[in-house]
Structure 1
Amino acid sequence: MAIDTNKLVTVFGGSGFLGRYVVHALAQSGHRIRVACRRPDLAYHLQTAGRLGQIQPIQANLRYPWSVERAVADADHVVNLVGILSESGRQRFSSVQTDGAQAVAEAAARHGIGLTHVSAIGADENSNSRYASSKGKGERLVREAVPQATILRPSILFGIEDEFFNRFANMARLSPFLPLVGGGKTLFQPVYVHDVARAVAEVVNEAVPTGRIYELGGPEVLSFREMMEEMLRIIERRRLFLPLPFGVARPLASVLQFLPGAPLTPDQVIQLGKDNIVSDAARAEGRTFESFNIQPNTLDGVLPTYLVRFRPQGQFTRPGTIADHSE
């Protein structure tokens, strides 16, 4: 059991996919955690990640500065994990990933405390993608408010609750084919959510230099197609690939974005036009997992632990059996 550091860390977005792992990693480091989220009643399950009273949910909404201020008050460090993959209702890229990031950073600046901001590889204020552009603008506003803020840019996250491999594995269970936007040539560096959470904790623990932008990618660089092939191998199903040129994917996404769950949006098509991997500059300057002394996990070491349920007979599927298109 970790020694109590008596450091209070406010985590915005602590109830989300990455958030639950960050809260656990911070609790294991001995910190007290204040989980700031819109629905604290949906975050009480996080309390089991630490000792009695170590983790406390609090209501906060990035659109309301007073709630952000209340969540930051008396904290020793702030972690901002809030982000969305697609827009819906009042949740817009600009309000969450730009204005929201600014609100958290300015609150941290007023209280004179450290800030860790989780962005994404591909963040670029000048990007044609609204997602990437809002991330880039958010980074700039964070650095303007807190020059010594540490920014982490992970590639696509995978883990038991992920919205990527789970979504496509479920699609493979129901459909005889899988779409490949742009032919599936876009490169990714999928990174295990637990490894990114450990990196966040190391920043809070002051184990790495602050004020830098770190790019976090897994040990493998894979194309979209290769990731789908790996997923199909693990769930032991054969499926046809349906290449969708960008010129076809864009109008198709314009229609699909209105379906429940938005399987594909025009903005995501734009994002798929650019590789999502650690830059040469980050590698040369050591702004990667190397600085954290973390050896990131491989897909093959993690995916089978949670995708097994998508096999034809689930965990009881005979090893080596691959289903045909009719299954």
Structure 2
Amino acid sequence: METTKDSSIRDQDDGEASALSKVDADLKTQSEALDSPLASHVCENDRRYQGFRPGAYWGPNDQEAADNLNLYHRIFSLSYRGRLCLAPIPKAPERVLDLGTGTGIWALDFAAEHPSATVVGTDISPVNIDPVPANVTFKQDDFCEDWGSSHENYDFIHARCLYGSIPNYPALYEKVLKGLKPGGWFEQAEISVIAISDDGSLKGTHMDKWGSLALEIGEKTGKSFAIAEELIPQIQKAGFVDVRSHTFNWPVGEWPEEERLKELGRQNRIGWEKGLDSWANLLFPKVLGDLRNPKIHAYQHMTVCYGRKPLEPAP
């Protein structure tokens, strides 16, 4: 198993610049993806949540949440240098599945880059985009439940930011393996909820306490927020082969001197600020002060891991 760590973000190449331009153009359109007049919803604390499987997912699905998901789509694009995935998928995949598609922006971008592919995006919240490209389908479904006849259908299955929403990762990975064609790839990217610093500037701050609180919540609910740290061994244990991983350092705030990292940190800080309102209203004001303190040099790990389904069944 190969693991790499990227502590810096290289300059954009032409492909990245093109991809980011496309992301920017899509942001407004895709931010409306979860605004369904037909879907049932639950409203709590002035936020809207999905009503398809009440309590199955911790985050809201209102306009503010959609905007934040699209912001992180851009941050992932920056980290990947314009690419939509890191797995060595075939140049012309035929069937692709996006688990937890959110606003659907990744599925739409992937379908645009791979016109040969039929892309299915599934989420517990409805995705309502009009018009939808001919090679994209969105389904409201709980992918932790039975997948029915979706066996050996997909060349590539993609997932990211599932933290805190999966009760049983081994069971999910078993479904993923069954859903892949022999030799097909699975890729999952997860952001660590634990902020860290190399110079001790984070120690004792409210942001420092946030990570352990999130992990404790995951333990109590039975839906781990530690999947970023557990991702590699879980995917290996599930039976994937040729497993690779890459870990990126995402600054929180504009403290880095290098302009690329400063921009990534600025966007990540905004993501934290917008997300905290849905994560924990009680702690929001205190952590918000830490996010804007330039003396705190915090960052978090984002790990992406991918593996291939064996060509032959395990003996």
TM-score between the two structures when normalised by the length of structure 2: 0.40
> Which gives a bigger RCO, structure 1 or 2 (Cα 8 Å, sep 6+)?
2
Q: Give 1 or 2 for the bigger CA radius of gyration.
A: 1
Where is the strand percentage greater, Structure 1 or Structure 2?
Answer: 2
TM-score between the two structures when normalised by the length of structure 1: 0.39
Where is the helix percentage greater, Structure 1 or Structure 2?
Answer: 1
